[in-house]
Amino acid sequence: MAIIDNAIYVDGLRTQSPRSLDETYELLRERDGMAWIGLYRPSPEELRSVADEFGLHPLAVEDALKGHQRAKLERFGDTLFVVIRPARYLDASETVEFGEVHVFVGPGFVVTVRHAENPDLRVVRRRMEAEPELLRLGPEAVLYTILDEVVDGYAPVIAGLENDIDEIQDQLFGNQPDVSRRIYELLREVISFQRAIGPLPDMLDRLLRGSEKYRVDLELQRSLRDVLDHVHRAVDKADAFRALLENALTVHSTLVTQLQNEETRRLTETGLAQNEEIKKISSWAAILFAPTLIGTIYGMNFDQMPELHWPLGYPLAVLGMVAMGGILYTVFKRKHWL
């Protein structure tokens, strides 16, 4: 059964705990009170039963059935349809887990539909049942308390993300290879958090603007403004986190580029030094090659060779070797190869 909790409240006190939706409808007609029905992943039949009883708009019912909605507030006549995205920080994986709760608020009823374990609305119900004065204010007070609980739950998320960002800033200049991946993953979590809380300021503004028209209690309006202040701080924090992480990516990219440039320069200098050595070796090899060529020619075992029996042949051959080596040395020296 999708019903988590189901109660009839009269003058701020819980008077009945019906076991079925039909019993809830019957008791609500008998008593001038408020029904608060808590559903968890209801079936289409269960949600349509509630929709038929309280006149919920089909589009809102369809959204509540499908889930996976962004935070929003829509008004259909006297009925408010609110989608809120609670969040929870998971320290082990350094990720943010998001829930989803749909709230229908109308004259004499509140229907909550959850698609995730978070948030535990039983906490909200116990809080309100412990404060009859607040519960006496009606369905709008229930909506305020749910909003307050969800927004308060953002504080641990902000603290967890802030701690991770501090760690990244410490690692940024430590040349750790996985820091860029961690920045990207944390940036993804921050962007998801922004999407969850981004619509809330406008939603609360709209609630406050309609307070006079729908005769919302003055103290309740003040409480909603306090929630709005907390939301603005959360939004500002998320914006600052995103800017810090984007700057961290830029700084990390710059540092990586500098390291690559230094490595390239080092390799270039090494290559140039090797080139100079190759030039020297090649120059001396060429200088030694000239006399070797001459000596090799006259070392061949042929009887008929020019100047083979000439008295000046040997001195001229040696002189040629020296002269050719000297010429090559001079040429290479002028080219700064030696």
Residue-wise pLDDT for 130-142, tens only, equals: 999 999 999 999 9
Given a contact cutoff of 8 angstroms between Cβ atoms, the answer to whether 129 and 17 are in contact is no
The pLDDT of residue 36 is above 70: yes
User: How many contiguous H segments (helices) and E segments (strands) does the chain have?
Assistant: 11, 9
Classify domain 1-131 by CATH architecture: 2-Layer Sandwich (3.30)
- What residue type is 168 in one-letter code? I
Q: What share of the chain is helix, strand, coil (3-state, %, to 5)?
A: 60, 15, 25
- The whole-model pTM stands at 0.75
> Looking at the chain, how many residues does it have?
338
| Cα–Cα distance, 145 to 142 (Å, whole number) | 5
| Cα–Cα distance, 152 to 201 (Å, whole number) | 15
Name 152's bridge partners. none
| Per-residue 3-state assignment (H helix, E strand, C coil) for 155-201 | HHHHHHHHHHHHHHHHHCCCCCCCHHHHHHHHHHHHHHHHHHHCCHH
The pLDDT of residue 301 is above 60: no
Structure tokens at 173: 């200049």
Q: Please state whether 116 falls in left (phi above 0), alpha (psi between -120 and 50) or beta.
A: beta
Check if 1-131 and 275-334 are the same fold: no
Residue-wise pLDDT for 53-67, tens only, equals: 999 999 999 999 988
Q: Higher confidence at residue 157 or residue 313?
A: 157
Write out the CATH class of domain 275-334. Answer: mainly alpha
Q: In the chain, where are the structural domains located? A: 1-131, 275-334
